Structure 1
Amino acid sequence: MPIRTPHGRAAAYRAVWQWPLRSPARLAITAVVAVAVVAAVSFGIGALTPDRTGPLDGPTRATPTARSLPPGTSYTPAPTALPPVPALRPTELPLSAAPPAAVDAALRWTRAWVRPPEGTTAQQWLEGLRPLTTPEYLGVLSTVDPANIPATRVTGEPRAVSVAPQSVRVQVPTDALTLLVVVVDDEAGTWRVADYDEA
């Protein structure tokens, strides 16, 4: 049977855990140090863990899944709460709201667009379209050969078919096809053609 002595490893351990019990002051100091160590460890772990909470996250709670339900039970996931969507301003306006200036711009542009008389150069044709066309679309028209345009004249009245706050689509009939001309407001009070297609 071993003999206890005041020396050795067991005696050292005993001295450590008995030290706080020798007086109330030592016990209070030990408690304060223990709380500080636990707080420091918790703070360190929280600083190293990435923040995964978002504005819509709430308290975590157990949610049933298809695997956790008994066999034969249907699983319907709970709907996710989304923020309310503000009402959108309608982009379509009644046809009666089409500005006459926009419809007139589409008519004048189509008259300048139809195939010009023989001897008219492409540059002259393009200059006739310049005041009625957006600068961006004028660059597209610079690649067009006006001699290949099938229409030679406008044959009817223009008619708005779609109206938005800043643009109007206008149908303009010609002797070869009906154009669908897109006219936009350039924010300076001038309506210019930004595109066209065959209606």
Structure 2
Amino acid sequence: MLAVVVAGSWSAGALSPEPAPAVPVVPAPARPDPPVVPVPSAALTTAEGWARAVVGPRDRDWWLAGLRPLTTAEFLSLLATEADERAAPRGVTGPAVPVSGANGSADVDAPTDRGAVRVQLADVGGTWLVAGADPAGAS
């Protein structure tokens, strides 16, 4: 679960009855967007294979064994302790769709019979592995 905390700060004079002096607003110079990195085909292949393994057999040990070669150790550990394989989708309904890429990471949507799953991938020593997945995160 990802939590976002937004913190505010009091400006000088925020609690005084006198208005703070006007400060001219100077627009910041425009920054170019970071370059878009295409999602490598190996990452798409891993995402598709992982999606097929997720919808596989419902025996827990068999299910985890199918995910093991495509998943980081950390995420597999989380799946082993917190996931209910019976709640997983039953079928893949199309090819994986690239969402975003960066050096060494990628996000891919894997369409299933229960909606798309946003799959987060990481390049681990030259091999693309699933490092997270969020059924609600896909658009």
Alpha-carbon RMSD across the aligned residues, in angstroms, is 2.6
Residue 84 of structure 2 corresponds to residue 145 of structure 1:
yes
Give the structure-1-normalised TM-score: 0.50
Identity of aligned residues (%): 41
How many residues of Structure 1 are paired with residues of Structure 2 in the alignment?
Answer: 111
Tell me the CA shift for residue 75 of structure 1: 5.5
| C-alpha separation in 2, matches of 1:103 and 1:75 | 55
Structure with the higher strand share, 1 or 2: 2
Pairing 1:193–2:130 present:
yes
Deviation at 1:137, TM superposition (A): 0.5
Q: Distance in 2 between matches of 1:140 and 1:130?
A: 12
Q: Which residue of 2 aligns with 1:129?
A: 67
The CA deviation at 1:121 is 2.1
Alpha carbons 1:184, 1:193 under 8 Å: kept: yes
Cα distance change on mapping 1:75 and 1:152 into 2, 3 Å = closer
Alignment of 1:41-120 (within 5 A): 90=34, 93-94=36-37, 97-116=38-57, 120=58
Question: Take 1:93 and 1:193, find their aligned partners in 2: how far apart are those partners?
Answer: 21
Displacement of 1:131 in angstroms is 0.4
Residue 8 of structure 2 corresponds to none
Greater relative contact order (Cα < 8 A, sep 6+): 2
Q: Secondary structure at the match of 1:154?
A: coil
Q: Deviations over 1:152-179 (max 9, x none)?
A: 1111111111111111100111112111
1 CA distance for matches of 2:84 and 2:21?
64
- Point out 4+ residue stretches in structure 1 off by more than 3 angstroms: 74-77
Structure with greater helix percent: 1
TM-score (norm 2): 0.70
